[in-house]
Structure 1
Amino acid sequence: MLALSAKGVLPRVDYAIFADTGWEPQAVYRHLDRLERYIAEPAGIPILRVSSGNIRKDALDPHHRFASMPLYILNQDGKPGMTRRQCTGEYKIKPLKKQVRELLGYPYPARIPRDVYVEQWVGISTDEFHRAKDSDVKYMRNRHPLIDIGWSRADCVKYLTSLGLADTPKSSCLGCPFHGNAQWRSIRDSSPQEWADVVAFDAAIRKGNARANATGNRLLGEAFLHRSRVPLDQAPIDHVTAAEWAALQQELGDSAADAQELEDGVIDSCSPWACRGEVEPVQDDFGLAS
């Protein structure tokens, strides 16, 4: 959308905002710098970078309140579960709304007049039109330009390729539990340093986040980044044995879509307004999905 606006295909936007969780792959930060230098700046469009902190550091800091990631849980009785997903709201949506309020001249807790609002563009393509929603606040009115012009994900890739941006990386936290096996392999094979980082993080959160442990709320079970619920450096990201496939079929349901999701991750985007893990898991008293 930024390129389409900068090139005059879509109207010129006033700002582009990137909510930084502090733990994106380095390829994403390099791409953002490239977009700013070659696309946004020549068109006079400022890219504003906002943040609520570093999600990795916060999870391991016993003194910091942590908005939980959707970790895969192996309960004490052997049953699987998931922790609650709060990270999108805390590390994406919250800083975006704060920035929008400041742009409008009404920082929190000031009341914003009804007739004061921004038109917010959300990059949902026709492939995922079902995720196009209205904003939950009156001072942000959502518009979905890619749907308006009838563009699919393939159309976006074709256009980016024409601009020399065919290698645009997928934006998501480096250690996002919604990664598929292909994404985990890509990290392992292309960036050993980042792979070591996510493996170390996976081990560090085995008993839950540090703040919960420090306050005596130790996880009743074990937490993992990979859906197989084994340590990441042992997870079956290269192949799945017959026994593992049978277990996954029982857990996920026996369908081609499940097999594709296992390999590619959750298909839909990781936009803050259309998170790939949008459906919240059901919670029990221990914060685990039932």
Structure 2
Amino acid sequence: MLPRTPSTTPTAPLFQALSLGAGVQSSALLLLSAHGVLPKLDYAAFADPGWERPETYAALDRLEREVANPAGIPIVRLSAGDIRHDALDPHSRFSTMPLFVKNKDGSRGMLRRQCTSTYKIKVLLAEARRRLGAEQLPEGRVGRTKRGLFLEQWVGISTDEIHRAKDSGVSYARNIFPLLDLGMSRTDCENYLAKHGFSAVSRSACVGCPYTSDKGWRTLRDGHPEQWQQAVEFDRAIRAGSARANANGIPLRGQAYLHPSLKPLDEAPIDPPRVDRKFRHLRLVDTSERWEGDPDGCSPWACRSGSSIAREPGQAQPLGRAA
């Protein structure tokens, strides 16, 4: 019998990478690495859907300038396109956002959330393959990696949201959750950031994300009028679904909205209800149209993507809390 050839499959990751959204948890991970609490990252990747909130881009720029660059950690900005442009361009492929839909029978539904996969997960995984030496293909595509090669991808999941920790689904990019190992909650992350001068870090999400809370819409309207107007115009433009679907003759079987009230965004009830002071002790306000949004923001591998429910083509699934 011939002697067995020693295995050349690596048992350790070739790289340590961070999925950076510039929100609380991923920002804390970047600082923890830069400060030597955690191993030094080989790179941090920001997947840009092209329509993030202004404060997210500002936070990313500051993190790069004041944390990543001094620590020698490159921040890589990745893009699969501009989500707003793609939704409104009849010639662009568009992965659906979780739009609220008024179905033909009057019921309220919600489109399946596919945008995170297209505009974040896929580009992060393509960058992982590129770093692992995969072949560069035409049109910017990246081929497969050699069997056994892998990197570790840090994902910012804290102890209060352990239920959101998920595998990447591929063997070459293994998700790990350093905050769980450190026993750090979101509050711990906020305190750590504040201690080092990074307070009031916001959650990452697109300007026109339907998961935006009423408070988030008010902040956008009152603090960023240009982006608010973009969201209002976008809301009007997607009433019958994506431009490409309509151009191909398959419009949505219903009407799409950014707000669960199924009203145009600039008419939606996003302001707190006014209550006469004489009756402020009574709870008489109808809250059926109030929306708290997604408290977790938009995070690859941890978003609320909904469950698949068989419906007519173009009809939205019933609205419910996705797992």
Whether the TM-score (by the shorter chain) exceeds 0.5 is yes
Q: Are residues 1:127 and 2:160 paired?
A: yes
Q: Which of 216, 219, 243 lines up with 1:183 in the alignment?
A: 216
- Offset of residue 269 of structure 1: 3.8
2:234 equivalent in structure 1 = 201
1:279 equivalent in structure 2 = 306
Contact 1:84 1:283 in 2 (8 A): no
TM value normalised by structure 2: 0.81
Secondary structure in structure 2 of the residue aligned to 1:222 = strand
- Offset of residue 282 of structure 1: 2.1
User: Residues 131-142 of structure 1 correspond to what in structure 2 (within 5 A)?
Assistant: 131-142=164-175
Amino acid paired to 1:137: V
1:75 equivalent in structure 2 = 103
Q: What root-mean-square deviation, in Å, do the aligned CA atoms of Structure 1 and Structure 2 show? A: 1.7
2:85 equivalent in structure 1 = 57
C-alpha separation between the residues in 2 aligned to 1:127 and 1:281?
27
- Offset of residue 267 of structure 1: 2.0
User: Residues 83-162 of structure 1 correspond to what in structure 2 (within 5 A)?
Assistant: 83-107=111-135, 110-162=143-195
Contact 2:96 2:114 in 1 (8 A): yes
C-alpha separation between the residues in 1 aligned to 2:308 and 2:259?
17
Contact 2:78 2:123 in 1 (8 A): yes
Q: Which of 47, 50, 67 lines up with 1:39 in the alignment?
A: 67
C-alpha separation between the residues in 2 aligned to 1:9 and 1:89?
31
C-alpha separation between the residues in 2 aligned to 1:211 and 1:31?
33
Q: 1:243 to 1:213 in 2, by over 3 A?
A: farther
- Offset of residue 281 of structure 1: 4.9
- Offset of residue 139 of structure 1: 0.2
C-alpha separation between the residues in 2 aligned to 1:2 and 1:270?
18
Q: 1:109 to 1:23 in 2, by over 3 A?
A: closer
C-alpha separation between the residues in 2 aligned to 1:89 and 1:200?
25
- Offset of residue 284 of structure 1: 1.1
- Offset of residue 75 of structure 1: 1.3
**5+ residue gaps, structure 1:** 249-258
Bigger radius of gyration: 2
C-alpha separation between the residues in 2 aligned to 1:207 and 1:182?
26
Q: How many residues align?
A: 275
**5+ residue gaps, structure 2:** 1-28, 136-140, 275-283, 319-323
Q: Give the % identical residues.
A: 53
**Structure with higher helix content:** 1
Where does structure 1 differ by over 3 angstroms across 4 or more consecutive aligned residues? 107-111, 240-244
Q: Name whichever of 98-107 and 49-58 sits farther off.
A: 98-107
- Offset of residue 223 of structure 1: 0.4
